[in-house]
């Protein structure tokens, strides 16, 4: 269906028929049918402005034929007096000529419509409209001997041309701005989705990289065990151990290939810079949606006291998403989450607080341990507990430190505070 409406002939037909139909809504400010104020000219101008990739000459020709044909047909179907084909064609040919001349005039600025100042574009369109109406009037005089000496008629031509030119360019500008806003909203949605996927993928790659180090150590130990078994004369056990070592080596190579491909992706991502405010915006926006999905009424108190571009946006997004998601999950029903970003000296500080159920003192030393969790599902099954461990590893990968503490006062129940060398976050800027 979309391809159907993208067809040039369909678009030309829409312009021609739409303009011809609009042209029938008219008033005659001077006696007779010498000059009419109709919506046809305004509609045609708006079509040309919005569909500036069309062939303007073809649009003018198609519209001229449609206007002449439809008006002649209406004269035939609803005759005021006796119908004369030749007279009707002669009368309406000048109207068709208006659209053809108008299209030729707009052709001179077609390639620069997006670059021309709006006020200047209005002046140009008004002049083209006045020139086209002048051509129509001269054609009426040449073809039918119409009296064109009425000064009121020329006054209306100038007035209507000016009003039409500025009004339609203003309407075009409003539509263009709306389209840009809609496009910007769509691009932001895609950007948000891509960043969410990338930050999640960063966490997986981070753990894959750690697993590869573990596999490397285990493979080395396995091979040394094989050598020990062989020295002890336990050849059968040695062969089995060697087989295990070879399989682990294959796993390591497969992991390396996967990691290499993913790391190329992040090498490209590292060339992109996001500001701290953008990182915070995307993190908070995503977790607002997460809170709504869990039917929780959560207010986010966001305070960003500093801002700079950073190529480390993916690890920061992954870190913030984990901390904010943990805070959302810790709150029962309704509550608040605070997020503060500031710079003190040569370090950047990120603090996440919440009004959730908190962490008991006895668990304080274990919150960053892999597998530790205080969250249980409705069925009593514990969560995986890898979120805070992941956060801890990311912070240290960026050369920072993180701690948990109980905030003073009765507002916040839990706080996580991470700090990083600012130069490390700006690295590559």
Average pLDDT over residues 380-389: 48
Q: Report the C-alpha gap between 249 and 256 in whole angstroms.
A: 10
Least confident of 7-21, 200-214, 346-360: 200-214
The pLDDT assigned to 375 comes to 52
Higher-pLDDT residue of 242 and 304 is: 304
Flag whether pLDDT at 219 surpasses 70.
yes
CB within 8 Å of 250: residues ≥ 6 apart: none
Flag whether pLDDT at 175 surpasses 60.
yes
Task: Work out the mean pLDDT of the chain and round it to a whole number.
Answer: 81
Q: Which of 283, 383, 279, 379 is nearest to 330 (CA)?
A: 383
The pLDDT assigned to 123 comes to 93
Flag whether pLDDT at 186 surpasses 80.
no
pTM: 0.53
The pLDDT assigned to 381 comes to 34
pLDDT tens for each residue of 40-85: 888 999 999 988 889 999 999 999 999 999 988 888 888 777 777 8
Flag whether pLDDT at 361 surpasses 50.
yes
Flag whether pLDDT at 270 surpasses 70.
no
**Domain 2-187 class in CATH:** mainly alpha
Report the CATH number of the 274-426 domain: 3.30.565.10
pLDDT tens for each residue of 231-263: 888 878 878 887 887 787 777 777 767 666 666
With contact defined as beta carbons under 8 Å apart, do 195 and 317 qualify? yes
Percent of the chain with pLDDT over 90: 26
DSSP 3-state of 197: helix
- Strands 334-344 and 297-304 come out as parallel
Flag whether pLDDT at 25 surpasses 60.
yes
- In the structure, what pLDDT confidence band is assigned to residue 339 with cuts at 50, 70 and 90? very high
The pLDDT assigned to 32 comes to 52
- In the structure, what pLDDT confidence band is assigned to residue 377 with cuts at 50, 70 and 90? very low
The pLDDT assigned to 208 comes to 66
Higher-pLDDT residue of 382 and 249 is: 249
The interaxial angle of helices 56-77 and 85-107, nearest 10 deg, is 160
Q: Report the C-alpha gap between 391 and 320 in whole angstroms.
A: 8
With contact defined as beta carbons under 8 Å apart, do 412 and 353 qualify? yes
Q: Which of 280, 267, 367 is nearest to 319 (CA)?
A: 280
Flag whether pLDDT at 382 surpasses 60.
no
pLDDT tens for each residue of 122-133: 999 999 999 998
Higher-pLDDT residue of 310 and 267 is: 310
N- to C-terminal Cα distance for the chain?
Answer: 46
The pLDDT assigned to 282 comes to 85
- In the structure, what pLDDT confidence band is assigned to residue 271 with cuts at 50, 70 and 90? low
Higher-pLDDT residue of 351 and 183 is: 351
Domain limits, the chain: 2-187, 199-269, 274-426
DSSP state of 83: -
The pLDDT assigned to 203 comes to 60
The pLDDT assigned to 218 comes to 80
pLDDT tens for each residue of 139-156: 888 887 777 777 777 888
- In the structure, what pLDDT confidence band is assigned to residue 1 with cuts at 50, 70 and 90? very low
CB within 8 Å of 152: residues ≥ 6 apart: 29, 30
The pLDDT assigned to 2 comes to 44
The pLDDT assigned to 62 comes to 94
Least confident of 1-5, 365-369, 424-428: 1-5
- Give backbone dihedrals phi and psi of 26, rounded to 5 degrees, phi first: -145, 160
The pLDDT assigned to 61 comes to 94
DSSP letters, 342-392, are EEETTEEEEEEEE-SS---GGGGGGTTSTT----B-TTSPBP---HHHHHH
- Give backbone dihedrals phi and psi of 228, rounded to 5 degrees, phi first: -65, -40
The pLDDT assigned to 376 comes to 45
Average pLDDT over residues 153-161: 84
């Amino acid at each position: 269906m979309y391809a159907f409406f993208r067809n040039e002939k369909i678009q030309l037909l829409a312009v021609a028929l739409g303009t011809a139909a609009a042209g029938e809504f008219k008033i005659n400010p001077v006696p007779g049918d010498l000059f009419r104020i109709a919506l046809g000219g305004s509609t045609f101008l708006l079509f040309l402005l919005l569909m500036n990739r069309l062939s303007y000459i073809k649009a003018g020709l198609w519209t001229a034929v449609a206007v002449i044909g439809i008006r002649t047909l209406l004269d035939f179907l609803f005759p005021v007096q006796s119908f004369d084909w030749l007279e009707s064609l002669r009368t309406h040919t000048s109207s068709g000529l208006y659209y053809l001349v108008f299209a030729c005039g707009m052709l001179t600025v077609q390639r620069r419509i997006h670059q021309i100042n709006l006020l200047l574009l209005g002046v140009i369109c008004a002049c083209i409209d006045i020139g086209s109406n002048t051509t129509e009037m001269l054609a009426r005089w040449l073809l039918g001997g119409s009296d064109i000496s009425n000064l009121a008629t020329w006054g209306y031509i100038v007035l209507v041309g000016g009003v039409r030119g500025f009004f339609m360019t203003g309407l075009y500008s409003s539509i263009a701005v709306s389209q840009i806003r809609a496009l910007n909203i769509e691009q932001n949605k895609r950007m948000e989705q891509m960043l969410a996927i990338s930050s999640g993928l960063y966490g997986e790659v981070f753990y894959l990289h750690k697993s590869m180090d573990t596999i490397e150590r285990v493979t080395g130990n396995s091979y040394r065990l094989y050598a020990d078994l062989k020295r002890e004369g336990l050849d059968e056990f040695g062969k089995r151990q060697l087989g295990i070592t070879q399989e682990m080596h294959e796993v390591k190579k497969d992991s390396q290939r996967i990691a290499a491909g993913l790391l190329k992706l992040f090498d490209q991502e590292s060339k992109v810079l996001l500001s701290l405010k953008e990182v915070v915006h995307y993190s908070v926006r995503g977790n607002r949606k997460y809170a709504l999905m869990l039917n929780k009424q959560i207010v986010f108190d966001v305070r960003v006291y500093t801002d700079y571009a950073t190529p480390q946006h993916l690890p920061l997004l992954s870190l913030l998403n984990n901390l904010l998601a943990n805070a959302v999950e810790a709150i029962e029903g309704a509550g608040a989450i605070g997020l503060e970003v500031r710079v003190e000296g040569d370090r950047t500080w990120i603090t996440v607080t919440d009004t959730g159920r908190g962490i008991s003192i006895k668990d304080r030393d274990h919150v960053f341990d892999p597998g530790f969790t205080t969250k249980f599902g409705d069925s009593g099954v514990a969560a995986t507990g890898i979120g805070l461990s992941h956060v801890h590893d990311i912070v240290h990968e960026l050369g920072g430190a993180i701690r948990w503490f109980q905030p003073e006062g009765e507002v916040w129940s839990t706080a996580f505070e991470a700090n990083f060398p600012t130069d490390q976050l700006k690295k590559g800027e």
